[in-house]
């Protein structure tokens, strides 16, 4: 793999050290590592390891500089043949995100701290994977920026154990001890409370030495002067030594008796703590943020409340005077450094994230309306999964439609678009689109192909958006095919889109996945109507979508059909939604027989289980026809205003009953005549039912 890391500067610090450690190990593992930064004192160390470095002003918050750097970084990615761009800070992440998208490179971020809830910070959640250095940071990214947990990877920082010499505390009773604090000179690091704690230590250890490692950020040198003034006022001038920024941390730790972390706000992690663990230096730290994930109070360190000099002083005294306690603590701490916080483990887990990011596509299929159409999408879902066995595949669909795909093995997640309920209106549409965008899908397969689904695809920010190009909204796709309205079956119509993805020719059969519970529910419904296991059954679907009144066969015809079937000892089973119960009651009132009425009583998967019990289904052009086809149940389909060549599901056991009319197919949902359906006789349908038993081939 070819990995490019981008960060503001390469000066001494935990983030910078981590970048160098990772780069060096990647080279040893046979990968290629490149770093982009604004330069710094560690560049020579990086280049001495044979790692290429590009010095660019990727630290600048100037909008013009940011815009200017995007094409520059893109050229570097192309030149280096990068597979992954790994960003470590916000400004470099903004530059890196757009450069990576343009170059077709996978973008990953690592979150090293708590970012303010501002738009500027959101970019740290835009990576295909977002590496969090602690659980508290992972939770912060989910809570503050709504990063889905499935995109977050928890990887604790690791220390190179070979760089640190382990030694256990010496015997107590010394008069001169050395304690230290390591970190930037900033109010957040709690130096003022540390110095006040050190002043209290003078009563116990007059000759104690205090080392302060780190310096103020450029432009904030005044804060160091304030700390030096505080040291003088506290009478610590002879005890405290400001060492500034140093690159010899292992050597400094080797001379400490206690390391103190005095941070007043939640820390993301605390790299210096695990460096002390590796060195055998006892740690006293404030109980904030990610620190509590490293230190177990009294076991591998001591925790104290933040901004509490007295508690901090007491803990340091306890650690220095109780050698037995300090020894037990550093032994457990060293074990933690070896098992949980070692560099090899961090590198292994990071490389695993890189590999997963390269191997795993994130694909969204959009099919947001019509239960029957969702069932027709199952061959497409199967084909996409076969082409991308390791991909994360999600389906955006309606609330009712989602029931049809319950148990589908080809998708990892269903995202509900309840367009008639909670998601009604454009405001909620945009909110849902924002939720979809957070998945960081790379490919969108639009099988709905309308203006709204195309807009979903665009707002997802996916780099590849597949679908049919028709109307102005076709411009919202960037991988499209012209919809020339050829009269082809619906599944083949979908596969024309899939051909853009290189998917050709897999099986186009439909599928549904009723559970054992669904089958038991159906058994109970039939038994309650005195239907035995050996009773011959024919399904009757008298209705269609409420919008399509023109697809309905007259109720009196269904009643006559039920009576004919009953004479032949075949019991009709009327199916449909609760909205169809009135039609079912009308049919039953016109019959002499007693059909089973299951309208409004079955879910879609229960209906699929019911299909297994039927000899055949009599239906109009509607969702139950697709359910029958998916379950391999023979069906007789009556077509009037619609064209069977465009809507008939793939099946080998079917018959189409249709009367040729000059006006059909008209695709009118309302008609004052509906001759196309009225002129289909009961005898025509009965003949079709009988013909189904002559062989497996469908007929028209």
* Three-state DSSP state, 429: helix
**How many Cβ atoms are within 10 Å of 540's Cβ, its own excluded?**
28
Same domain, 9 and 60: yes
**437 and 582 part of one domain:** no
Q: What CATH number is given to the structural domain containing 216?
A: 3.40.50.2000
145 and 172, same domain (yes or no): no
328 plus 228 within the same structural domain: yes
pLDDT of residue 644 exceeding 90, the answer is: no
Tell me: do 483 and 377 sit in the same domain.
Answer: yes
User: For residues 462 and 436, is the Cβ–Cβ distance under 8 A?
Assistant: no
Neighbours of 156 (CB within 10 A): 20
Kindly state the percentage of the chain with pLDDT values over 90. 68
508 is a domain residue: no
Average pLDDT for the chain: 91
CA distance 115 to 266: 11
User: In the predicted model, what is the mean pLDDT of residues 369-394?
Assistant: 92
Q: What CA–CA distance (Å, rounded) separates 260 from 253?
A: 11
Residues 534 and 679 in one domain: yes
541 plus 605 within the same structural domain: yes
Q: What is the mean pLDDT of residues 68-87?
A: 97
Query: Do 260 and 378 lie in a common domain?
Result: no
Domain extent, residue 101, equals: 2-154
pLDDT tens sequence across 183-218 = 889 999 999 999 999 999 998 899 999 999 988 877
Query: Do the beta carbons of residue 365 and residue 395 sit within 8 Å?
Result: yes
Between CA 651 and CA 657, with CA 656 as vertex, the angle to 5 degrees is 165
Query: What is the b/e burial string over 339-363, where b = at least 16 CB atoms within 10 angstroms of the residue's CB?
Result: eebbbeebbeebbebbeebeebbbb
Confidence check: pLDDT of 699 > 50: no
Tokens of 280: 């055998």
* pLDDT at residue 700 greater than cutoff 50: no
Residues 34-43 have a mean pLDDT of 93
In a domain, 144, yes or no: yes
Q: Tell me how far apart the alpha carbons of residues 607 and 627 are, in angstroms, rounded to a whole number.
A: 8
For residue 346, tell me if it sits in a domain. no
- Same domain, residue pair 265 and 217: yes
pLDDT (0 to 100) of residue 385: 95
Task: Give the residue from 467, 501, 535 where a domain finishes.
Answer: 501
416 Cβ neighbours under 8 A, 6+ residues apart: 397, 398, 399, 402, 423
Same domain, 558 and 441: no
Domain membership flag for residue 123: yes
Q: What is the pLDDT of residue 675?
A: 80
Q: What is the pLDDT of residue 625?
A: 93
Q: What is the pLDDT of residues 613-635, one digit of tens each?
A: 999 999 988 889 999 999 999 99
CA 310 to chain centre: 46
Residues 534, 493, single domain; the answer is no
Instruction: Provide the pLDDT for residue 506.
Output: 67
The residue among 453, 477, 501 that closes a domain is: 501
- Inside any domain, residue 507: no
pLDDT for the residue 696: 42
Per residue in 102-137, pLDDT tens? 999 999 999 988 888 888 899 999 999 999 999 999
Q: Rounded to 5 degrees, what are φ and ψ at 605? A: -75, -30
d(CA 109, CA 354): 11
Residue 506 placed within a domain: no
- Is 350 within a domain? no
Number of folded domains that form the chain = 4
Which of 104, 134, 154 is the last residue before a domain boundary? 154
Reported as a pLDDT band with limits 50, 70 and 90, residue 181 is very high
The pTM assigned to this predicted structure is 0.81
Same domain for 50 and 165, yes or no, is no
SS3 9: coil
Position 510 in a domain: no
- Class of residue 667 by CB neighbours under 10 A (exposed 0-12, middle 13-18, buried 19+): exposed
Contact (CB, 8 A) for 342 and 162: no
Alpha carbons 166 and 164: distance in angstroms, whole number: 6
Phi/psi at 208 (nearest 5 deg)?
-65, 145
With bands split at pLDDT 50, 70 and 90, how would you rate the model's confidence at 251?
very high
């Amino acid at each position: 793999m070819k990995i490019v890391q981008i960060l503001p500067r390469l000066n001494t610090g935990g983030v910078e050290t981590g970048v160098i450690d990772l780069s060096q190990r990647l080279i040893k593992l046979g990968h290629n590592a490149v770093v982009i930064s604004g330069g710094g004192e560690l560049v020579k160390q990086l280049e001495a390891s044979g790692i290429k470095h590009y010095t660019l002003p990727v630290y600048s918050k100037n909008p013009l500089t940011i815009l200017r750097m995007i094409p520059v970084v893109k050229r570097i990615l192309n030149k280096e043949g990068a597979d992954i761009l790994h960003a470590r800070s916000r400004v470099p992440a903004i530059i890196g995100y757009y450069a990576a998208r343009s170059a077709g490179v996978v973008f990953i971020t690592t979150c090293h701290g708590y970012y303010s809830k501002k738009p500027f910070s959101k970019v740290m959640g835009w990576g295909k994977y977002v590496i969090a250095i602690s659980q508290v940071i992972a939770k912060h990214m989910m809570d503050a920026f709504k990063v889905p947990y499935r995109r977050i990877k928890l990887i604790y920082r690791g220390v190179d154990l070979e760089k640190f010499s382990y030694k256990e505390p010496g015997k107590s009773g010394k008069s001169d001890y050395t304690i230290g604090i390591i970190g930037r000179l900033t109010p957040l690091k709690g130096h003022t409370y540390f110095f006040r704690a050190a002043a209290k230590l003078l009563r116990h250890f007059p000759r104690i030495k205090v080392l302060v490692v780190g310096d103020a950020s450029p432009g904030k040198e005044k804060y160091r002067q304030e700390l030096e003034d505080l040291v003088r006022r506290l009478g610590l001038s002879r005890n405290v030594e400001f060492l500034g920024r140093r690159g010899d941390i292992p050597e400094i730790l080797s001379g400490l008796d206690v390391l103190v972390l005095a941070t007043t706000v939640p820390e993301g992690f605390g790299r210096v703590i695990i460096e002390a663990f590796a060195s055998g230096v006892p740690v006293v730290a404030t109980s904030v943020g990610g620190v509590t994930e490293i230190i177990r109070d009294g076991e591998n360190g001591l925790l104290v409340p933040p901004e509490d000099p007295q508690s901090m002083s007491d803990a340091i005294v306890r650690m220095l005077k109780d050698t037995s306690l300090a020894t037990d603590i550093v032994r457990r701490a060293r074990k933690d450094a070896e098992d949980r916080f070692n560099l090899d483990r961090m590198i292994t887990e990071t490389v695993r994230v890189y590999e997963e990011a390269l191997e795993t596509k994130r694909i969204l299929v959009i099919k947001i309306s019509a239960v029957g159409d969702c069932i027709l999408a199952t061959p497409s879902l199967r084909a996409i999964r076969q082409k991308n066995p390791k991909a994360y595949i999600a389906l955006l669909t309606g609330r009712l439609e989602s029931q049809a795909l319950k148990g589908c093995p080809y998708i990892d997640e269903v995202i509900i678009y309840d367009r008639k309920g909670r998601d009604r209106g454009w405001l909620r549409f945009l909110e849902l689109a924002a939720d979809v965008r957070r998945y960081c899908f790379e490919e969108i397969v639009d099988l709905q192909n309308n203006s709204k689904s195309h807009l979903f695809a665009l707002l997802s920010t996916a780099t590849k958006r597949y679908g049919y190009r028709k109307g102005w909204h076709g411009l919202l796709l960037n991988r499209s095919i012209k919809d020339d309205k050829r009269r082809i079956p619906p599944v083949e119509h979908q596969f024309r889109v899939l051909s853009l993805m290189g998917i050709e020719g897999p099986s186009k059969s439909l599928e549904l996945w009723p559970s054992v519970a669904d089958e038991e529910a159906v058994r109970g419904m039939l038994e309650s109507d005195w239907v035995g296991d050996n009773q011959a059954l024919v399904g009757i679907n008298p209705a269609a979508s409420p919008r399509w009144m023109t697809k309905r066969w007259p109720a009196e015809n269904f009643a006559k059909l039920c009576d004919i079937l009953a004479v032949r000892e075949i019991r009709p089973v009327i199916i449909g939604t609760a909205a169809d119960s009135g039609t079912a009651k009308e049919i039953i009132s016109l019959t002499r027989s007693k059909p089973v009425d299951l309208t409004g009583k079955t879910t879609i998967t229960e209906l699929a289980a019911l299909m297994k019990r039927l000899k055949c289904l009599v239906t109009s052009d509607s969702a139950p026809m697709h359910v029958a086809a998916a379950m391999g149940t023979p069906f007789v389909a009556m077509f009037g205003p619609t064209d069977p060549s465009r809507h008939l599901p793939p099946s080998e056991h079917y018959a189409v009953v249709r009367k040729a009319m000059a006006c059909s197919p008209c695709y009118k949902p309302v008609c004052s005549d509906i001759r196309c359906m009225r002129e289909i006789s009961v005898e025509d349908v009965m003949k079709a039912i009988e013909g189904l038993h002559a062989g497996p081939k469908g007929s028209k």
